[in-house]
Structure 1
Amino acid sequence: MKVKKLEDIIGTEKEVSDDNWVSRRLLLQEDNVGFSLHDTVLTAGTETYIWYKHHIEAVYCIEGEAEIETVENGETYRITPGTMYCLDNHEKHYVRAITNFRVVCVFTPALIGDEVHDEEGVYRAPE
């Protein structure tokens, strides 16, 4: 059994960030559970381009509000607390945080832990 507290992740190498977001990585590849689990906050007023070329991501909003726009068809989705979305077709998309936007994210395959989006919005392929 694994038990982890968010307060024990904050300020460690398992708290990863860029200019738009901070991701607290609770479960990673090293935990050997087949997925990774993240508590992530996107900063109000930011726009992030993302393409999970090598991963499937499910996202559950617990605080705040954002808009997701899929690049292929330009569809937009308003995300508020209690809403889940899943990028199950590797959709290229924008996340526009209207307020500070706190979500719980699950990735498969699991992330190693230090990933940030490259110039294409991609996390590197799993090893």
Structure 2
Amino acid sequence: MIVRDLNDLMTTDRAVSDAKWTSVRMLLADDGMGFSFHITFLEAGSEHTFEYKNHFESVYCMQGKGSITDLGTGETHAIKPGVMYALNRHDRHILRAESELVMACVFNPPVTGNEVHQADGSYAAMAELA
């Protein structure tokens, strides 16, 4: 059984920050679960363009208000507590935080914890990190 406290991880190398967001990686690839699990905080007023070409991601909003725009279709959806979105087609998107967003995120395949966003908004494939 793996038990971790978000508050304990906030000051460790599992808390990764970049470009107005912080992601606390509660489960990583080396935990052997087949997915990674993160709590991500996005600063109010921030805008982020992502495209996870090598990962599927599902996100659940726990706190805050914002929107997500699918750049392939142009559709924009409201983000608020209780809303989930899944990037089932590696969808290129813009995530906007009107107020601080607190999101629970799952990645498959799991991230290792060493990833940084590339210029196109993606994480490298695990093989590229080795």
Letter aligned with residue 116 of structure 2: V
Runs (4 or more) in structure 1 with deviation over 4 Å come to none
Letter aligned with residue 82 of structure 2: G
In structure 1, the partner of 2:31 is: 31
Letter aligned with residue 107 of structure 1: F
Task: Report matched runs for 1:82-93 at 5 Å.
Answer: 82-93=82-93
SS of equivalent residue, structure 2 residue 99: coil
Task: Report matched runs for 1:48-67 at 5 Å.
Answer: 48-67=48-67
Could you tell me how far 1:7 is from its partner in structure 2? 1.4
Size of the aligned set, in residue pairs, is 127
Gaps of at least 5 residues in structure 2 are none
- Is the contact between residue 14 and residue 114 of structure 1 (CA under 8 Å) also seen in structure 2? no
SS of equivalent residue, structure 1 residue 22: strand
CA distance in 2, matches of 1:6, 1:85: 22
Letter aligned with residue 54 of structure 1: N
Letter aligned with residue 60 of structure 1: Y
Residues 22-60 of structure 1: CA deviation (Å, up to 9, x unaligned): 000000001000000000010010110000000000000
The share of aligned pairs that are identical, in percent, is 44
Whether 1:2 aligns to 2:2 is yes
In structure 1, the partner of 2:73 is: 73
In structure 2, the partner of 1:13 is: 13
Letter aligned with residue 81 of structure 2: P
Could you tell me how far 1:20 is from its partner in structure 2? 1.7
- Is the contact between residue 44 and residue 99 of structure 1 (CA under 8 Å) also seen in structure 2? yes
Could you tell me how far 1:71 is from its partner in structure 2? 0.7
Letter aligned with residue 25 of structure 1: R
